[in-house]
């Protein structure tokens, strides 16, 4: 059975949780990572079950015959954290064939509110940790083929001037996709980036949820399962001819110009 690492699995309502559930049901063994203090410091807050409770809930939802799920709480702002993640996953399951770098540090702030501290933290988590995870993943001597899936948030499609530390560093992930894919393609390792569009993971205010749905061509937000289905395909054998791409999976949000809002 293949093994996948999925980072950013900290809340049951989140994209990472849905991805981990889908891959484990595939079946794959799944090694999930989380860092609860980040969520606790955001407006949406940490999952009430706590990190271990979230993993327990994930295991309980899996069908018979699913892969195993193991967990590591790790702060990806630490330089050595990516290496520990891959090493721990290999200790549990052996070779790792799929890496889903779903983690992110969120941060608001326009040009006038920028601080060096927040810029450094977003760089460390969103960019440096992703690159080092890919480095450690690709360094597996016994790896034959493989899948790397990273995440951007649409910064290449429209500006996000009130979230500069977040938007600039997440935009860098889209930019790194081809540069990572090119050297790894000769080893049968694909590297693709996903822009999931607006997904309802509990971060938006109720009035914003209603307004975005009104403006969306399909009249709704995306769900974590919408993203998980795409990641499940990218992680599988059928996607082997696709690499170096940023896939926009937003239900038409990025092409909404000219689509009248719903009443």
| pLDDT tens-digit map of 71-117 | 999 999 999 999 999 999 999 999 999 999 999 999 989 999 999 99
Q: Is the model's pLDDT at 258 over the cut of 80? A: no
The stretches of 153-235 forming alpha helices (DSSP H) are 164-184, 206-215, 224-234
Cα separation of 245 and 129, whole Å?
20
Residue 9: band (very low, low, confident or very high) from pLDDT cuts 50, 70, 90 = very high
Cα separation of 98 and 24, whole Å?
12
Residue 187: band (very low, low, confident or very high) from pLDDT cuts 50, 70, 90 = very high
pLDDT at position 42: 86
What are the catalytic residues? 166
Enumerate helices (H) and strands (E) in the chain, giving the number of each.
Answer: 9, 7
- Check: CB of residue 121 under 8 Å from CB of residue 115: no
Which residue from 201, 173, 195, 204 is spatially nearest to 248, judged by alpha carbons? 195
Q: Characterize the bridge pairing of strands 246-248 and 3-6.
A: unpaired
Q: Is the model's pLDDT at 58 over the cut of 80? A: yes
How far from the centroid of its chain's Cα atoms is residue 181's Cα? 17
**Cβ count within 10 A of residue 205:** 9
| pLDDT tens-digit map of 230-249 | 999 999 999 999 999 999 99
**Which of 3.40.50.620, 2.40.10.10, 3.30.70.270, 3.40.50.720 would CATH assign to domain 3-255?**
3.40.50.720
């Amino acid at each position: 059975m293949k093994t996948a690492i999925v980072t950013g699995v900290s809340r049951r309502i989140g994209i990472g949780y849905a991805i981990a559930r889908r891959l484990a049901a595939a079946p794959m063994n799944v090694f999930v990572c989380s860092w609860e203090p980040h969520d606790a410091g955001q407006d949406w807050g940490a999952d009430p079950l706590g990190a271990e409770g979230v993993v327990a809930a994930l295991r309980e939802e899996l069908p018979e015959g699913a892969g195993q799920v193991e967990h590591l709480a790790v702060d990806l702002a630490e330089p050595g954290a990516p290496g520990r993640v891959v090493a721990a996953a290999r200790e549990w399951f052996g070779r790792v064939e799929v890496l889903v770098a779903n983690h992110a540090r969120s941060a608001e702030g326009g040009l006038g509110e920028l601080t060096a501290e927040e810029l450094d933290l977003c760089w460390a988590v969103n960019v440096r940790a992703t690159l080092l995870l890919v480095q450690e993943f690709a360094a597996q001597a016994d790896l034959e083929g493989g899948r790397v899936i990273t995440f951007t948030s649409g910064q290449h499609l429209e500006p996000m001037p009130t979230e500069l530390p977040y938007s600039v560093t997440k935009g860098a992930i889209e930019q790194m996709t081809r540069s990572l894919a090119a050297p790894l393609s000769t080893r049968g390792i694909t590297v693709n980036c996903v822009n999931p569009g607006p997904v309802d993971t509990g971060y938006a205010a109720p009035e914003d949820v209603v307004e975005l749905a009104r403006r969306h061509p399909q009249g709704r937000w995306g769900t974590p399962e919408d993203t998980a289905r795409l990641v499940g395909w990218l992680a599988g054998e059928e996607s082997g001819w696709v690499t170096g791409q940023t896939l926009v999976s937003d239900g038409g949000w990025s092409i909404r110009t000219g689509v009248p809002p719903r009443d």
